[in-house]
Amino acid sequence: MAITSYDFLYFELHGLSRVCRIMLDLSGVEWTDTYAKNWDEQRDSTPFLRLPVLKEFHDDGTTFSMAESHAICRYLAKQYGYLGNHPHESALIDMYYESWNEVSLKYHYVKYRLMKLVPTELVDKDKEYWRDNFLLPILSKHEEALAKNGTGFYVGDKMTLADIAAAVHLPVLNYQGVITKETHPNLVALSEKLNSADPFLSRKNNFMKN
């Protein structure tokens, strides 16, 4: 059984899909970016009533289907060689990947959820709290790890899911431009290097909104 193509069902925005779409581009396999048009009717047919959902089509006519954006990214990373060569490498790549997800999830909670619940001044205060207690300290640890590895990548000497997550998330999460070449040279260099080439470059301006 061989994989013939993928279908990636999500909304017409970046949201939780940035890393997944990059992974699909990197797979080299034909894939379709499908936007949910009748979500109310489609919801029930998804595993957890949420998007994204990945469908994988095979040459024997069978289909494999899964949900959960991070599980999808990990699955594709493993399938196409972006999850390391040894269980320890895979675990570390996954650790940095999840660390990015943590920083991103907390930011998006403040940006999209809290702002509906509390006045703007409190949202701004919470963004500052997030900047000082998550973004800066956690990414400083990432910077140390990149400096220590010394290859320009988080783990080993080639691009993995951890590096892909960094390139995708850093430009979005760099609140008030606090992460700079001076404060986090290895992290910024990694992000700039990956974002200056496809598929990162061509994916960047896909949608106007997040």
Residues at the site binding ligand GSH, with contacts judged by CB under 6 A: 15-16, 43, 50-52, 68-70
Hey, which residues does 44 pair with through a beta bridge?
none
The answer to whether the CB of 6 falls within 8 A of the CB of 55 is: yes
Cis geometry, peptide bond prior to residue 199 (ω within 30 degrees of 0):
yes
Question: Tokens for 119?
Answer: 């006045």
* Closest to ligand GSH by CB, 47 or 137: 47
Alpha helices in the chain (DSSP H): 18-27, 39-42, 69-79, 87-108, 115-117, 120-130, 136-149, 161-173, 185-195, 200-204
Residue 70 Cβ vs ligand GSH, minimum distance, rounded to whole Å: 6
Residue 68 Cβ vs ligand GSH, minimum distance, rounded to whole Å: 5
* Closest to ligand GSH by CB, 7 or 89: 7
* Closest to ligand GSH by CB, 66 or 201: 66
3-class secondary-structure state, position 100: helix
The answer to whether the CB of 99 falls within 8 A of the CB of 144 is: no
Residue 45 Cβ vs ligand GSH, minimum distance, rounded to whole Å: 13
CA dist., res. 147 & res. 73, Å (int)? 25
* Closest to ligand GSH by CB, 43 or 125: 43
Sort residue 118 into left (φ over 0), alpha (ψ -120 to 50) or beta. Answer: beta
Residue 136 Cβ vs ligand GSH, minimum distance, rounded to whole Å: 25
Residue 51 Cβ vs ligand GSH, minimum distance, rounded to whole Å: 4
* Closest to ligand GSH by CB, 16 or 173: 16
